[in-house]
Amino acid sequence: MIILAQPEDIAAVETVGQNLRAKASDKRAEDTYNDAAAVLHEALEIQKHLAAQDQVLAGLVAAAKA
């Protein structure tokens, strides 16, 4: 037995597929954003740490010169 789908049935299936792909795309975009935010946070923490190290080293150099 061969069942032929009606155009509106095919359109409904296509719409469901498009919605699933859109949700997956949104999830990937959100994950990428969260990853970038985490990398930015880590970079800012590293900058703070390096600035503190610079101050200590500058103090040591000044003391060595004195």
Read off the pLDDT of residues 17-53 as tens digits, 9 standing for 90 and up: 999 999 999 999 999 999 999 999 999 999 999 999 9
Q: What is the pLDDT of residue 8?
A: 82
Given a cut of 90, whether residue 1 has pLDDT beyond it is: no
Given a cut of 90, whether residue 56 has pLDDT beyond it is: yes
Domain spans in the chain, listed from the N-terminal domain onward = 34-66
Residue 41 sits at the vertex; the CA angle it makes with 36 and 43, to the nearest 5 degrees, is 95
3-state secondary structure of 53: helix
Tell me the C-alpha distance between 11 and 19, whole Å. Answer: 12
Given a cut of 80, whether residue 59 has pLDDT beyond it is: yes
Global confidence as pTM: 0.67
Q: What is the pLDDT of residue 10?
A: 86
